[in-house]
């Protein structure tokens, strides 16, 4: 099939490359001349493991191309995916649909013959109706079927998620689109990926509901972690205890500094606005958003407390800046609030992240940047682990202690075992694992 993908951001680029790898002929279109020139030259504007090779292989095979010219790409396409951004609108949290609407109008002017237009972007309920209206108004002769096909890609594992998805959700109102979408995803039938064909509005809401539920799950275990610290329970064991229940499951039950990224923050806000507009408030989601926002700043206070309550004039090393490992995405990253709290309290912050430092410079207050974890820790009064990159999971603790001014480790991802850290002379602070509880458990295990 011939496919046009409008937008070469995270979703558009990953989707386009994977669809080309399925054997389709794909053209990715973007108005940004510099980005298209870079992609044609093999330079990938985002960090996503394996994406550079996937793009290169399919471009070399002639299945994947990049263009700034929308009209010929759409005119030749059987399917057109809209994969433009839908950021939170400034001031009110609504999803900004201006890029989606502009893309729909441009697509309408270029259509030739029956075409399936697919909204891949995360959009509020009813957006497909509006896309259909815009196309009909712009080009009354257009023969289209508008489909919702939300993405469920995890940054850092997006290619695997696209090729081996938990499910594929297709929302349609025109039955002609069913066979077309089945052909788009035909290679996935070999993996028996479940395809849910439903109404367009249902598909649109499914995406928001999924992200809001996962955000609530993260926020729930974070609040349980706080309770564990007050009561002497161990949040990791609580999480295992509830996660073994098949109705709950173990994923998204790792306590930490709060969720961030490009999806959960904006999608929960957008869902709240959808609920308000339809006189159906979502109180659980409202609380999730409020608790998560407060938690990020609270992590800064936790670091200050671990340093004796005062960091003025002290150097704090921060390891990990991106909102999660295996991405360079700094959007709504917990590190932003943590670093800001430390700077506001008078600390000097020295940071290191394997992939995110270029993006971090645009959003963090002035900090020093190091070449590696050990350089960041040199002469530091505390070391804070914010993002659990693999290279931070097996740090040489003895080397760190020798290079630091004060051996204080604040582990906001619960990567390390207390006994191992304290054996190297560190003061150790983590999430939801009180010292007395862990020491007692270690003593029982040693008996």
Catalytic residues: 263
Quick one: which of 307, 391, 319 has its CA closest to 347? Answer: 307
**Rounded CA separation 410/429 (Å):** 5
Please state whether beta strands 348-352 and 368-369 pair in parallel, antiparallel, or not at all (unpaired): parallel
Is residue 156 within 8 A of residue 261, CB to CB? The reply is no
Q: Which residues contact 67 (CB under 8 A, 6 or more apart)?
A: 27, 28, 29, 36, 73
Quick one: which of 392, 383, 376 has its CA closest to 338? Answer: 383
What value does the CA radius of gyration of the chain take, rounded to a whole number of Å?
Answer: 24
Find how far residue 4's CA is from the centre of its chain. 24
Q: Is the dihedral of CA 421, 422, 427, 430 positive or negative?
A: positive
How is 330-395 classified by DSSP, letter by letter? -TT-HHHHHHHHHHHTT-EEEEE-SS-HHHHTTTSPS-EE-SSHHHHHTT-SEEEE-S--GGGTT-
**Rounded CA separation 363/393 (Å):** 26
Quick one: which of 146, 183, 181, 189 has its CA closest to 165? Answer: 189
Count of CA atoms in the C-beta half-sphere (13 A) of 255: 26
E strand intervals along 149-206: 168-172, 195-198
Please tell me what DSSP assigns to residue 186.
G
Phi/psi of residue 212, nearest 5 degrees: -65, -40
**Rounded CA separation 237/243 (Å):** 10
**Rounded CA separation 270/272 (Å):** 5
């Amino acid at each position: 099939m011939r496919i046009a993908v409008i937008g070469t951001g995270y979703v558009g680029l990953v989707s386009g490359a994977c669809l080309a790898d399925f054997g389709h002929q794909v053209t990715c279109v973007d108005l940004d001349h510099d980005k298209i020139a870079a992609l044609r030259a093999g330079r990938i504007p985002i960090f996503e493991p394996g994406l550079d090779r996937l793009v290169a292989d399919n471009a070399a095979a002639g299945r994947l191309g990049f263009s700034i010219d929308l009209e010929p790409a759409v005119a030749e396409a059987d399917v057109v995916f809209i994969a433009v951004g839908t950021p939170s609108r400034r001031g009110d949290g609504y999803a900004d649909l201006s890029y989606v609407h502009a893309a729909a109008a441009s697509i309408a002017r270029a259509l030739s013959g029956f075409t399936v237009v697919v909204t891949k972007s995360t959009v509020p309920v009813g957006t497909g109706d509006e896309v259909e209206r815009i196309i009909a108004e712009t080009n009354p002769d257009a023969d289209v079927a508008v489909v919702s096909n939300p993405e469920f890609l995890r940054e850092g594992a997006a290619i695997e998620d696209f090729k081996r998805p938990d499910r594929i959700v297709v929302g349609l109102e025109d039955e002609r689109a069913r066979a077309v979408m089945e052909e788009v995803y035909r290679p996935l039938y070999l993996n028996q990926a479940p395809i849910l064909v439903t109404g367009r509005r249902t598909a649109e809401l499914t995406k928001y509901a999924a992200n809001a539920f996962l955000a609530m799950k993260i926020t729930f275990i974070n609040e349980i972690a706080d309770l564990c610290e007050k009561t002497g329970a161990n949040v990791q064991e609580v999480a295992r205890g509830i996660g073994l229940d098949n109705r709950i499951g173990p994923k998204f039950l790792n306590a930490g500094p709060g969720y961030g990224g490009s999806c959960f923050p904006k999608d929960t806000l957008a869902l709240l606005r959808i609920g308000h507009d339809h006189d159906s408030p979502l109180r659980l989601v409202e609380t999730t958003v409020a608790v998560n926002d407060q938690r990020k700043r609270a992590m800064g206070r936790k670091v200050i407390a671990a340093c004796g309550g005062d960091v003025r004039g002290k150097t704090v090393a921060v390891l990990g800046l991106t909102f999660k490992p295996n991405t360079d995405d700094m959007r709504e990253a917990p590190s932003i609030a943590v670093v800001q709290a430390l700077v506001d309290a008078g600390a000097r912050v020295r940071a290191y992240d394997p992939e995110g430092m270029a993006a971090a410079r645009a959003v963090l207050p002035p900090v020093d940047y190091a070449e590696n974890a050990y350089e960041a820790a040199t002469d530091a009064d505390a070391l804070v682990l914010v993002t659990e990159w693999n290279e931070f999971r097996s740090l040489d603790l003895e080397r760190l202690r020798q290079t630091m001014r004060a051996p204080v480790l604040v582990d906001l991802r619960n990567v390390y075992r207390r006994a191992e850290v304290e054996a190297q002379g560190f003061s150790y602070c983590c999430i939801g694992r009180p010292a007395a509880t862990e020491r007692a458990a270690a003593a029982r295990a040693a008996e």
